[in-house]
Structure 1
Amino acid sequence: MDVVFCFCVAALLSVWFTATCEPIPDGALHMECFDRYFLITVDLSVAGEKPRFDAVARTGVYAITEQNAAKCGYSVSVRPLLGHVELRASYFSCYTDNQDDKVFTFNFNLVTQHEGYKATYALNKTCSPSFLWSPREVTCEVNYMEVTVKTDMTCSTGTKKGDWNTLKPAHSSTTSDWQVMFKRGDEQLQPMDLSQARQQGYVFNLTDGRLVFRTPYGQPDSFSTEVNGVPVEVVHATLFSRQSWVVLMVDMVAACSTHEGSYDDSGYMIWETPEALYPSVESTKISIQLGGELVEQTVAEERGYIIEKHNATFRISIPCNAEEGYRKSLVDGGLYEFYVFHLYVEQVLVDEDNVETVLSFHRTLVTPLLPSPIFSDNRTALEEQMFTVYLGDVPADVDLASVQLNGQEFTLPFSNASGQTLTKVTYPNSTHSYTLKVPFDNPVVTQQLIPADAVIQLKLDINFTLTVQSGNESYHMASIVALFADESPPQFDAVCSESGIGFKLDYRPFDYLWEIRIGSDLLTSELAAKRGYIMSNDSQSLLLIVPLFTQGYEYTDVTLKGFSATFEILVRDRENSEVQTSTVKTCPFTSTELIICSTDGRMTVVADLSLAVTSGGIPATAHLVDKYCGPKEADDTRALFSFPLNNCGSRVKVGKENVTYQNEIFFNVDKLVPGEATERVIVQCTYSLAGLHRLFSTYRFVSDTDGVGSIIHTKAGTASYSPDKRDLQRPTVEPTVEPTVEPTVEPTTVLHTVPATMRPPGSPVAHQLGVHPPARYVKVSKIHLLSNGDETFPKTKINEVYV
């Protein structure tokens, strides 16, 4: 099969010319001369939609089509993964200028088309391989097989008897023209002249020193077989010419491994070729092209390749992460990936006559679809108070397009107002990752109370939409994250002070799930400032100082010795506003004077009557406008009154927005000291008309808001409100006159309800300045007095006024 009969041939001469074309953009073209082929790559951005190469020769311009490319020694392929179109040309291709098999000049036109616009680019390159051609060169390209042999070889001395059987058809030939015989397996086909062979797609050519035979795969005269289990295609052609009694014959057998590659689960793409495609081989070695450089087996193995020989078969295992491989993602019901390798292998065979044969293999290997290793990881830490989800091993050609959170779609990038963040990190292994952070208090997070388990469930259903680059494929990856937290609502620590009550809450991770309210009002910095609370709030804790007599207190056990003040903070469920728990703190306080205007229509007053005592008055004998309404408790200088607003002779003043109930404390002075002024004490409560449900009702008083109380100390010489019978019997406001809120007496001093002993440190002492600021009102729901029973004052009805 390897017998070669020597002959002499004449060289074919050729010249070339270059077409006039447009210049190609810089960086878009790459041309390189390799040992046994010439390579052109052009960026797809320039090559356009349907690029075409034309070979330029002295005889004309020839389009390189799919059919004639295989016949003429060209391989053209578009490689989207690499972003270019590629042409490989044999040094012995049809239209290449060959000078003595040492200098090869290539001339091509690249014809491109962009949206109907055509452009032509001239591509020219001269290559001079630095090596000497082996006696026999076999190229196994992706679309053709090519054999070249030297024309001046010494004839083999190892001819076997069986090889002479080929001479019989040649010897019987009656022509001296060159003919070719094909052998298909054991079948010897009839000879044909070269013109007939060319019509069937075969190419025969003579250079200065070599005979060239080229054939596409799948020709009728080729046959497929297996060598050691590896598929092989063989074309056994013998050229011969009968010169008188001498027959010249050349064996041009072409044999190539057609193994398409296989993938194993260890992450390797495997390609195989028989060690000896040609008989009588004594030794063989393999080299692989890596990164454009042909390297020996040991170097390839250092880079992760595995080259082994099993049963006279070379097995080359290529790691999928090899730099020479190219990866592509694909959506097919799920996210998959595949790898493409453009393998170039040279196998050197040496036979028993020490004749060298070089086999060159070009193979494109593609792995099957492999599931993509994208994964998600819940990295949520409770102390961070946010969901943290990691999406890792995302391939370089896959982008995250959008994120769906509990059914709500968010396109990327997130807006600043969305509340969630996304961070992308790129890794050297051509993957990247995303880290999604969603705070627990983000409105998209669902919360569910599970009473049976005494837990709160926070749930975030995430759907990642990933898009494959250079395509419209999308992939949806769902990650359902559920987190459980302690159900117990937060609890405040509370302490008493001289000036009020302090509350402190140390935040836990899930305390944001609850609302903190004072009554029906949400506790905010605005509410605190409006009501006079002192609040400090940060990520660690909440501190609230509630000064005495600010809104929200409830007062009980009011006596001359002191009283109790209670403040309550409510904790409500944020979802349904139900009260889950409360912190209630009650503290004892003392005060020289105070006035309380309750929402249920009762005025409670502790009045300082020391000036009246100096003038001879006795607090125990003091009374209100109704002389039967006396104090509940009295000592040497003070008296405690508690009475319904619509009783004890109270006077009502109605304005456009407020209603004021006013009464006065009187004394039975037996003997007035000459020159000493007695003191009148007026007490009043003012309510907003907008908050009153029933005005001047004998039966019930209901107010939404607190009343504002005042204790007004005046001199006895000012206009007074005399508690005689006429005043008690006539209406306090005439129906035909628009009610007003001007006071009947002009106050000279007003006593603040907060005693000096309970003022915050550093505040001015009112009595030292001689001026008392207005009394501040408080909101109470009920008042409990230390008495021997319910109110026993006689009911003195006042006239009702309707506004």
Structure 2
Amino acid sequence: IICQIPYRLFCLLMAAVGIQAQQTPSINDTQIINLTPGLATQCGFSFKFDPMGNAMFFASLQNCFSQNMDDKMFSLVMQFRLPGNHMTEDPVYRVGKTCSYTPWTSREILCDRNYMEASEQSIQAVASGYKMTAVVFSPSKNVMNVDEVQRKGYAIANTPTRLVLRSPHNAEETYLQNVAGVPMRVLSTSTFFEQKWLVTRVDATAVCPTPEVITWYMPKHIDPLFSSDAFTMLEVYMGIDAKRLDTEEMAARNYSVLVTEAHIIVEIPVGAVGGYFKSHIQDDQYFVTYTIEPMLELLWIEEVAHENTSYKVLFPITTPPMARPPQVRNYTVPEQAVFVLELGTFNLDVELLNITFPTMVLTVAECNARGFNVQEQRSPDNTLKTFRMEVPFSDPVVFKERRAEQGVTTFTLQLIYGLVIFPEYAPFSHSAVVDAVLLDIVPPSVTGNCDQENFHITVDYRNQEPFFVVLVGKRLLNHEFAQQYLTEGDTDFTITLPFSSPDAVFESVHSSSVRSRLDVALLNPYNNMTIKYFSLACSFLKTLTECFSNGTMTALAVKVESAPGLNPGQLTLSDPACGPTYSDDRFAYFHFTVNSCGTTRKFINNVMLYENEISLPDELEVNCSHPFFRLKVSCYYVANITRTLAFLTRPRDNEPFAETGTGRLMVRMRLAQDASYNTFHQEEDYPVVRYLRQPLHFEVELTTSSDPKVALVLDHCWATLNEDRDSRPRWNLIINGCENPEDPYRVVFHPVEADARVHFPSHVKRFEAYMFSFADDAVEPSGQVFVHCDVVICDASSPTGGPCSGQCVNQDNLKRGRSCFMLFRPWQTITELIGR
């Protein structure tokens, strides 16, 4: 053993035999510990073979088994067993060494082939009386105690003056970071130490490079192919699998080609498109290799011989095996009472065969049948996979331990994943132990009472966060339900529900009361287990039968719990022809006279008793599938009684009359597309373009009235060049309900007939005007033209003359409505007419 300072012990074992890592023991005093690959990574050991086949072992000075003397001297004893010819016992070699190392720097970091190690000076933190309590990993902020850190494959320890942290390169809490263009693996932690009321923290970070790039050096001057040193390289191309790639494809795949004086250098990221990963097993440890076959095409010309040469080489490259120890990621939320685990990450050639639990071995299909929901999940680029499973805390494979003094219950799941690599069918396994701690929560209390109409249920969850859902009857308490019936307090809430709510059930019915019951259950939202069950039953005064002095009766039949299959709509009175006036799935309401529907009458002293019975028809009651239901209803009337009623009369002072009121009527004017008046221009059609001699078809309609006695009459219509109805110039189209006599192109009125759109022809007026009407010698209109109309609303049943006698009749003493303009613009105006 040689002391390689700084920081490592080195042992060269001169032997031409292959030594398996798990066959290499280590000795600490008299205790022999088998140094497996996993333990070697966790404790700071590594090995390799030199070109002669000699095994070379390396150990960190601060490995798990060295004797540390004040961080100055380190002693290690190891024992090697070399496999022989199986005829005799394997020889054992025992070696030991003591190394010194001073002085230490404040922070020392070691990157070995299978682990990374950080050593931080922490004299105060490791002083007497301080206890290591927790480790926080960044950036995930996961918090673990020391035992959990060790179980996950990390190593953390105190020496007399230092804190030592060690991790596999691909541990769950490590992450990749690009540092100056170089991908590096980072582990960052904060370790907390406590002493009574004092807390101190020591940060430790390790950063190590990763073998993430393949570099291929090709000589630029291939001597056997050249007759002289004078040549010119004309072309250099790169390809994959004998296919040439252009510059864009190379950039997309992050390939690079660099031509120097002596070499052509090709760099390919490990995992780049064009290659593939393959899984391997060595000593039950998972490794991967990456294989890719790059190609170089060179074209050069020798200046002396003036000969050009095309040179192509395909060069398969496979990386050395890279350790990819599987990690079990624990996504368990204890309150959900389910272990949620994810094992990965693997290449696509790995399959999960079975899972071994302490009491049984289950295949994947058997796990899913048991409810473990084992699923294979793939990465977005479909190159990697993980295996996810869910195991309920309630399953027998989970070990449960209640710690009453701590008020918690611990759930432990031990399992071994059985995996295989295809197509070689190479088996391997990965074991894991996961724990979950659940606080023993005091169940909430449920109480209740009733008033004359309602149930009142109070749930007290005692200063704890509600961890349950509420089932009221058969309905979950959701947001809408809570808004209507729930009142919240600081540590409780109250549900107030009517006794007739569909969520309650009727237990029994009496002549003047109904007994109703409300069931409430508090459920675990993750497994639907009942945390608390509460039932409240009360009798509510309710008049089910009413008797009226005019000889009619009403009765309400209620569906009770003992008759769950009853259809109230099938109930009848004694006469099967008398069914319910109203019914639903819970009630049937009957209304009948006392001398109908089979009602019986008998006299008792001075009282008449009328009785009837509500039941199912005989043909349904004989069927055993229908429940038995009978409800007797009765009314008592006094046989002989006198009532006195007094009233006075007096003549009317005057006759009633109708008082004049005020109302609003809406009128609209539209421009039709043609003389059929079936389609009209919409808002987006405006402004509408028309040329001289082209007609314009207008329709004016009373839109809000359904009174057939109302008639609409056009009084005046005219056109202007802007929106102002009083602007000049002005072209009159209709004057006093008639065509403008001075207009050579007079408007034409069109009759209106009732059709599917026009229900009241008296509400609609149509007329046709020509574009000549908007021009004269003095003014030539251009741009937009606006049309305005004044209308008169008349009582068609009582014409008063003037315009109300029909179109073209002049009268000046009428209340006229005034419309807004209608224009050859993209909007439609609505007119409000106010009249008395």
- Fold agreement, TM-score > 0.5: no
TM-score with structure 2 setting the length: 0.29
TM-score with structure 1 setting the length: 0.30
